[in-house]
Amino acid sequence: MEMNLNLSQVSGELSQFQRVPSGTYDLMITNVEWKENSSKTGSYLDIVFKVDSGDHAGKQFKTNITIANQSEKAVEIGHRTLKQILTQINHPNPDMLKNTSELINGQTFRANVELEAFTTKEGNIGYSSSLKQVVSKEAKLIDGVEESQSTRPAATPSAPSAPAAPAAPSAPAAPAAPAAPSAPAGKAPWMK
């Protein structure tokens, strides 16, 4: 089959963003853009994070943090996440962000990242890593293997159990019914 497909108008460069497995990582912000949402009813920060250490060091992913929106809950989550990041990167005033460039200061912070599946408009399955929760620097660093200790419930010792009470006497058991014929040896029971 002959094919004359012109690809001269398409970039052959690989994406700078990679899948980062779910886990707890040290992250650094490498780029921030303030954008208006598609319905023109709010805005968000489009932030690029780079994994700073471990097996996935150097991988980058993007997350949007809501700044203004019709949903008060979305705004609350976005503002809380932003303040947590500012606090963790030692921003001089985490209560006030004057310019997006203040987020790019070379400092790392620790966060839980989640790899999520999504369906595209065309019906294809895609995967995207996103920032889920900023955690303290003391949280166990997990390179895509298990949960952070900060989110894992603490083990609680169990009290020794009391000895079981003796069973009450019961009526004698009825004689057992004769066994059903079994399938010939070497065959599964449903194959008679």
* 127-151 pLDDT per residue, tens: 889 999 999 888 888 764 434 333 4
Burial of 86: CB neighbours in 10 Å, binned 0-12, 13-18, 19+: buried
pLDDT score of 12: 66
Average pLDDT over residues 60-75: 95
Of the chain, the percentage scoring pLDDT greater than 90 comes to 48
Q: Is residue 84's pLDDT more than 70? A: yes
pLDDT band, residue 184 (cuts 50/70/90)? very low
pLDDT score of 44: 96
Indicate the domain borders of the chain: 23-135
pLDDT score of 15: 67
pLDDT score of 14: 57
Mean pLDDT over all residues of the chain?
Answer: 78
- Helices (H) and strands (E) counted in the chain, each on its own, are 1, 5
pLDDT digits (tens, 9 = 90+) for 148-182: 333 433 333 334 444 444 444 545 555 544 444 44
Task: Output the CA torsion 6→8→10→13 (10° steps).
Answer: 130
Q: Which fold has domain 23-135?
A: OB fold (Dihydrolipoamide Acetyltransferase, E2P) (2.40.50)
Helix (H) or strand (E) holding 34: strand 23-36
Q: Which residues contact 126 (CB under 8 A, 6 or more apart)?
A: 117, 118, 119, 120
